Amino acid sequence: MRRPLLLLTLLLLPLASHAGPDVLRVGASEELMPILEPMVDQYQIVTRNKVLLIGGEESELAEQIREGTPYDLLLTPLQRADTQAQPVKCKVRTMQKLTLVKGERRALATDFIEYLRKHCADR
């Protein structure tokens, strides 16, 4: 089941660069997808902000970022101290975030992270 989903995600990746200015592009490790998917759905309903959530292995996401895939935010499980990444507490799993954008898009990323911090603690 995961292979077809990963394949579909990889096929849709070129479209991530064409996402509109109001769409937050979030790369997330596969391990966090079960936590994030329902929260992203709820966030989009509540805020009317759009999120393109793209899951993958951490090494794949890192490679995509090096190659220029335009993620706004990267979410991975908190495994080690990283000077650039900041923790996001969640009852189920603490994750770390790395914001990759500046300006207006950074405000979208910050809003999304604040929503996660507020609502993830309940899960």
Secondary element (H or E) of residue 56: strand 50-56
Higher pLDDT, 118 or 44: 44
Cβ proximity of 54 and 25 under 8 Å: yes
Question: Model confidence over 79-98: pLDDT tens digits?
Answer: 655 556 666 766 656 788 88
**Mean pLDDT over each residue of the chain, to the nearest integer:** 78
Domains and CATH numbers, the chain: 2-120 (3.40.190.10)
Question: DSSP assignment, residue 68?
Answer: T
Residue given tokens 């990283």 in the structure block: 82
> Rounded to the nearest 5°, which phi and psi values hold at 102?
-125, 175
pLDDT value at 13 more than 70? no
**Residues near 1 by Cβ (< 8 Å), separated by ≥ 6?**
none
Give yes or no for a contact between 88 and 121, defined as CB atoms under 8 angstroms apart. no
Longest alpha-carbon distance in the chain:
38
Confidence of residue 7 (pLDDT cuts 50, 70, 90): very low
How does pLDDT run across 56-70, given as a tens digit for each residue?
A: 998 999 899 899 888
The mean pLDDT of 8-25, rounded to a whole number, is 57
Number of Cβ within 10 Å of residue 81's Cβ equals: 8
The pLDDT of residue 84 is 62
pLDDT of residue 11: 46
In degrees rounded to 5, what are phi and psi of residue 56? Answer: -175, 170
Q: For residue 84, give both structure tokens.
A: 């650039």
